[in-house]
Structure 1
Amino acid sequence: MSSRRSSSSSSSSRTSKPSDDEIKEFISKLQPLLPQLHHTRNAPVSASSILEETCSYIKRLHREVEDLSQRISQLLDSADISDVDEELIRRLLQH
């Protein structure tokens, strides 16, 4: 069992600590995905700015999803549909 642990720990240390080059690659892949930084692709942007904007963007998207879910729920509550149709719609929206 200890041989499994040592082999898995060596592979897990590889996945838990990416190299500097891998981090740079991840950062460069994030920048074009961020609306606030998309236009600055050619201009130098610090890694910390990209990570901060990524966190902010994910939080904004999460809030938007919550708001849209609440609006859909309110629409479903006010709509004249059967319980079966409502359940089907809710399941579809969860995917």
Structure 2
Amino acid sequence: MSSQGSRASNKITDDELSALILNLQTLLPQPNRCRNGRESATQVLSETCSYIRKLQAEIDDLSERLSQCLGSMDMTSLDAEILRNLLRQ
């Protein structure tokens, strides 16, 4: 099979793209949604990127706070290992 043939089979139709954008839009928090429920794909993708950056900042903050808490705790190595395993899940 040629590379052009395999590329053609991987193309997303306009309907599929619209469905993906609508699905992505449902994952965004309500305050970010347009009042009429319809937003451009560009707007949905931009809001999604902003939301992901916000979530990453929250993760970083929580990780830092957790590290500070763990650093101030007097734990046995078994307690620390149990906690590490829980956090990996």
Q: TM-score if structure 1 supplies the norm length?
A: 0.76
Residue 43 of structure 2: aligned partner: 49
Q: 1:10 to 1:64 in 2, by over 3 A?
A: farther
Distance 2:77 2:7 in 1: 47
Q: 1:88 to 1:51 in 2, by over 3 A?
A: same
Percentage identity across aligned positions? 46
Residue 3 of structure 1: aligned partner: none
Q: Which runs of 5+ in 1 are unaligned?
A: 1-5
Q: TM-score if structure 2 supplies the norm length?
A: 0.80
The one-letter code of the counterpart of 1:63 is: A
Give the superposition deviation at 1:44: 2.2
Q: 1:13 to 1:74 in 2, by over 3 A?
A: farther
**Structure showing greater relative contact order (alpha-carbon pairs closer than 8 Å, 6 or more residues apart):** 2
Give the superposition deviation at 1:85: 1.0
Distance 1:25 1:41 in 2: 19
Distance 2:20 2:41 in 1: 10
Q: Which runs of 5+ in 2 are unaligned?
A: none
Residue 69 of structure 1: aligned partner: 63
